[in-house]
Amino acid sequence: MNSNRRKFLRNVTLSAGALATQVTVKADEQDRNHSQSGIRNPEFNMCGYAAPKLNTVRVGIIGLGGRGTGAVDRLSYIDGLEIVALCDKRPDRVENAQGILKKVGRPAARSYSGEEGWKALCDSKDIDLVYTPTPWSLHTPIAVYAMEHGKHVCTEVPAAQSIEQCWQLVDTSEKTRKHCMMLENCCYDFFELLTLNMVRNGLFGELIHAEGAYIHNLSTDYLFKKDGYSDMWRLKENANRNGNLYPTHGLGPIAQCLNINRGDRMDHLVSMSTNDFTLGALAKEMATTDDFFKPYVGKPYRGNMNTTLVRTVNGKSIMVQHDVSSPRPYSRIHLLSGTKGMASKWPAPERIAFGHEEVKPEELKDLYEKYSPPIVKHIGNIAKEVGGHGGMDFIMDWRTIDCLRNGLPLDQDVYDAATWSAVGLLSEQSVANRSRTVDVPDFTRGNWKNNKPHDLTLNGGGNTGVRKVKSS
């Protein structure tokens, strides 16, 4: 990388300001309706809420496995941010993360470890944002505790493991007026951002149907890998549940395109799973040569493929699939079908069509140039250099910090976290009841009717630069 490129990357800012996804909503403008359930009184509408500006965002990171160390690495490049605390139940992981900070010239953070070290971190008075990539079972407990102790929260996916936990997140965010954003990085991938902006510009007409998925064979490289997930937690999740365990990577981007919780909402769903044809057999095979795997033999593993169908109040349909144990190529599908055109990402190559014929490669390139939103044009190349699933992780991190620093609403709110997570939880209920229909709760308590869709124009921010970028 030449010196001019390095200088550009170090000093990058958005000349025209950052993206704002919602209009600012002031506290005295809130007029909440009672919960549809009749038992929860709304506190405050967090959709479009802009918290007070933070000149410097002080971050505490909880969970320093693969995802967590990646977050430490990416966040260390962002200006206007201090990583002040690190936590993992294993002290060696904390020390490893401290090494990342030292390597990039950042000061050491406070260290927390042990089973409940995360509580001590959340108790600290000098943290603005808790960033938590932990095992699924800790997502809601940490998020709720952090918000109750005055912190905004970015939690990994899925945000909750029960519908009651979804409501806990909503109630706590509304009560404390602290952001609870799910780290759905796939909303920031390049084709997903392109198609979202094309939807906003009416190129596909009115959307009718959308499809998303998480199809990713994790069997041997992750689920049955002893040092893959701490205490084999992810294999245990797959061994005792049956449904769409991981819906949000495919669902999040298409839900944004469909204005879910912002003009439309999910009404009901049905879900069906196949039998398990691979995980149980693999557990039995591995146990023949390694006693470590004997406890995993004979478990009621979830079916290979789950297909969940959702109908919205406005009559749109959504299909979400989940399969992490069949020998198939990776896919999140990302299909949008409207009255004037369609787009799909998988199977490759990316396709966009406005009739029977797909646009030619040169036309697709022109669409990228014209309709990629400003954040991609200004930070996309830098994101690719920093990394994180091809750059989408860094776009997500940079965007979130820039919004907090400039008092802008976040792209994802607590209602998105609850709704997208709930689809997976409700799929389990439907599968267990012979694919019967299950209603989807309205976590916005009626505010979806007036909540505004994402606004992808430049508006009021963008003074967050990149402190350090990897050299080539």
What's the pLDDT at 151? Answer: 98
409 part of a folded domain: no
453 part of a folded domain: no
Strand order in the sheet with 180-182: 110-113, 81-88, 57-62, 129-132, 152-155, 180-182
Do 199 and 149 share a structural domain?
no
Do 87 and 171 share a structural domain?
yes
Do 42 and 151 share a structural domain?
yes
Could you say which of 184, 213, 230 is where a domain stops? 184
Q: Identify the segments of the chain with pLDDT beneath 50.
A: 1-39, 472
399 part of a folded domain: no
Residue 279 near residue 338, CB atoms below 8 Å: no
Could you say which of 184, 209, 230 is where a domain stops? 184
Could you say which of 158, 184, 210 is where a domain stops? 184
Do 279 and 202 share a structural domain?
yes
Do 157 and 200 share a structural domain?
no
Do 240 and 170 share a structural domain?
no
What's the pLDDT at 41? Answer: 57
Do 223 and 173 share a structural domain?
no
Count CB-CB contacts under 10 A for residue 329: 10
461 part of a folded domain: no
- Amino acid found at 105: G
368 part of a folded domain: yes
Do 418 and 277 share a structural domain?
yes
Do 135 and 38 share a structural domain?
yes
Do 220 and 335 share a structural domain?
yes
Range of the domain at 159: 3-184
Rounded (10°) CA dihedral 463, 464, 467, 470: -120
**Structural domain count of the chain:** 2
CA separation for the pair 91, 270 (Å, rounded): 44
The pLDDT tens digits for 129-170 are: 999 999 999 999 999 999 999 999 999 999 999 999 999 999
Do 143 and 197 share a structural domain?
no
What's the pLDDT at 371? Answer: 97
Strand order in the sheet with 306-312: 351-353, 342-344, 335-338, 207-215, 317-323, 306-312, 266-273, 438-439
Do 239 and 176 share a structural domain?
no
> What predicted TM-score, i.e. pTM, was given to this entire model?
0.91
CA separation for the pair 26, 12 (Å, rounded): 31
- Amino acid found at 371: Y
392 part of a folded domain: no
469 part of a folded domain: no
CA–CA distances in Å: residue 192 to residues 156, 346, 361: 19, 12, 17
Question: Residue 75 sits in a domain of what CATH number?
Answer: 3.40.50.720
Question: Residue 206 sits in a domain of what CATH number?
Answer: 3.30.360.10
460 part of a folded domain: no
What's the pLDDT at 471? Answer: 53
